[in-house]
Structure formats: structure tokens, C-alpha cells
Amino acid sequence: MRKISRRSFLSAAAVCGAAAALTACGGSSSSTAASSTASSAAASSAAADGQKYTVGICQLVEHAALDAATQGFEDALTAQFGENVTFDFQNAQNDSATCATIANGFVSAGVDLIMANATPALQAAQAATDSIPILGTSVTEYGVALGLTDFDGTVGGNVSGTSDLAPLDQQADMITEWLPEATKVGLLYCSAEANSQYQVDEVQKYLEAKGVTATQYAFSDSNDLASVCQKAADENDAVYVPTDNTCAANTGIIDGICRPAKKPVFAGEEGICSGCGVATLSISYYDLGYTTGEMAAKVLTGEADISTMPVEYTNVTKKYNKTICDDLGMTVPEGYEAIEE
């Protein structure tokens, strides 16, 4: 059982930012409060009855954003069920095959629910079971991740979750806001991550509509990240990195190439920005995970049917990395707040 106090998390993962308000499902504050009260009542009843739950957590890789989402998820369920919920946390070390092994192990163990943190973990869990409830988090686009041609916001079956998708048109706007004279932007991403491909395709479309040449630079894994990143830095005015797990786990490599070359990096989320970027439109991954945990509580108590639960989203916040901005001599536009160091 994985135990981390909320206090220690907040100290260690301050990079994950302030709380973000949920938007995708709409509704007034009073209806949200009523829903939360009902969920707490159902969970309290289950806890009072002594019902115990085992939740399997498959996290693709350890980095600030995914760690924060897992912590939020655990905190939400612990707040509802206390010691009556046990977490089997397993880290796949950024390997899709290991995700499959972990997911199959959860099925064999008969866990009550699987939380899949990041797209490859979700794909592995869906392939492993069509009966155990699966909630994804830190997944950008569920239609792309699961190969759904008619995705309308609800996956159906035994899958739902939360998305970390930031408005990609606004990501493109951010780049031109900071660098209005930029003519060439490199889009750096891992080709093994389907949701990264989706993001760079969209950002490329939006940038080209603004008259900016956007070129994709794909690397297969961390072994060729440095060489591809160097090429992107050499050939462009700036680099954009989406919410890519391999990039997030290797921000030091990107920063070590782009900052000395005076090429600003714009990031899809705060964890990457804190490691190598100048600016981002970022969600709070802790809040994203916490929302996923609240969804899990409803599923476990029978309050909600996972097959009808829509995927949920969060707002974004404009953030900048003061240290890197100062090093590059960049002027921060209005409306951005500094990432806490």
C-alpha cells in the first residue's frame, strides 16, 4: 500500500500548480456541491459498512505531472474510504509491454478498479479486461488513445476518466504571443505516444494558419531524444513540446540543448515547463487525479455507472519559468504567473 501524506506531496510537487476548476461537465456550483455531498454520503455509508476496496494503479513512468495525478487520485479515495481502500501502485518504467503485464496482473488479482495513469497504461488496461472498471487520467484524447471513430465524450463499456488536454489553438496563440517575429517552430515529441502525435498535428495546423512554418521532430525513445532535439533547436526559432511523457521524464536533456542555443521551449504542461520551458498553458495534475478519484468513489459505491460517465476536463492556467526567461532575456506578457520553484 502506497502512503504519501498530502503535506509531503504539496512540498515535493509544487510544480504542478494551483487548483483548476472543472469545466467539461458544466453545471452550477450548487449542483456540484449537491453531487459532492451525495457522493460523500454514499462513500461514508460504504466505509461504515466496512466494505473494503483494492485499487490497482498503473503509472506509465515517474515524473512530476503523473506523480501528482496519482497522489490526487489516492488522496480523493482515502478521503472517502479511509483505511478501507488499498492501493496497489506499480510503475511501468515508460514501457508499454510492462503496462500490459501490470494490467494483466491486476485482472488476475481481481482488483475492484484500475486507475491507468497515461495513455499506454489506459490502452493496456482496456486490452486486459472488459469487466473491471477502468479510469484513465493524464490521457489527452480518449478517441485517439482507444481508436474510437465516434468518440463523443463518453467512452462507454468499462472505461472513463479525465483528460489533460489543453486547448491546442491557445497553445499556438501562446507561442506567437511570446514570439511574434518567429517564423519557424519545431514540434518535438515521442513517436511512440499517440496522443503526442495528435497534439503536434493540431498545433502545427494552428501555427501554419498564422503563417508560421511548423515542423515535426519525432524521436522513438529517450536514446535519440538528444540528437532530434539538437536538430529542432538548430533549424527553428523556438521549440514546442506537448504533454509528452518521454519529454517530461527527460527535461534536462531538452534544457541542456535549447537554453544554451537561446531557443525558447514552449510546453504543454507545467512539469515540462519547469524543467526546460519558458511558458505553458497548464492544468493542475493533482486536481485532475483528485477528480478521477472522486469518479472512482462513485463507481465503487454503485452511485454511478461507468459506462455512462463522460470524460472530464479542467481549466488551464498561464504559467512561465522565471529562471529560464531571465536567462534568455525574454519579456513576460501580461496574465502569466511564475511557476513556484
Considering the domain architecture, whether residues 322 and 175 belong to the same structural domain is answered as yes
| pLDDT (0 to 100) of residue 10 | 37
Return d(Cα 156, Cα 111) in angstroms, integer. Answer: 20
Is residue 6 a part of any domain in this protein?
no
Considering the domain architecture, whether residues 218 and 119 belong to the same structural domain is answered as no
Considering the domain architecture, whether residues 199 and 78 belong to the same structural domain is answered as no
Average pLDDT over residues 58-74: 96
- Percent of the chain having pLDDT more than 70? 86
Considering the domain architecture, whether residues 30 and 155 belong to the same structural domain is answered as yes
Is residue 10 a part of any domain in this protein?
no
- Percent of the chain having pLDDT more than 90? 80
Is residue 3 a part of any domain in this protein?
no
Considering the domain architecture, whether residues 278 and 288 belong to the same structural domain is answered as no
Of the candidates 193, 104, 217, 97, the one whose C-alpha atom is nearest the C-alpha of residue 140 is 193
DSSP for 278-315 reads SEEEE--HHHHHHHHHHHHHHHHHTSS-GGGPPPB-B-
Cβ(247)–Cβ(66) below 8 Å: no
Considering the domain architecture, whether residues 42 and 66 belong to the same structural domain is answered as yes
Q: In the block, which residue shows the cell 487548483?
A: 19
Considering the domain architecture, whether residues 133 and 174 belong to the same structural domain is answered as no
Considering the domain architecture, whether residues 186 and 213 belong to the same structural domain is answered as yes
DSSP state of 332: P
Is residue 11 a part of any domain in this protein?
no
Considering the domain architecture, whether residues 82 and 219 belong to the same structural domain is answered as no
Considering the domain architecture, whether residues 294 and 201 belong to the same structural domain is answered as no
Considering the domain architecture, whether residues 101 and 178 belong to the same structural domain is answered as no
Is residue 247 a part of any domain in this protein?
yes
Domain membership of residue 334 as a residue range = 168-282+318-338
CATH code: domain of residue 196: 3.40.50.2300
Average pLDDT over residues 115-143: 97
Which pTM does this prediction carry? 0.76
**Structural domain tally of the chain?**
2
| pLDDT digit string, tens, across residues 270-316 | 999 999 999 999 889 999 999 999 999 999 999 999 999 999 998 89
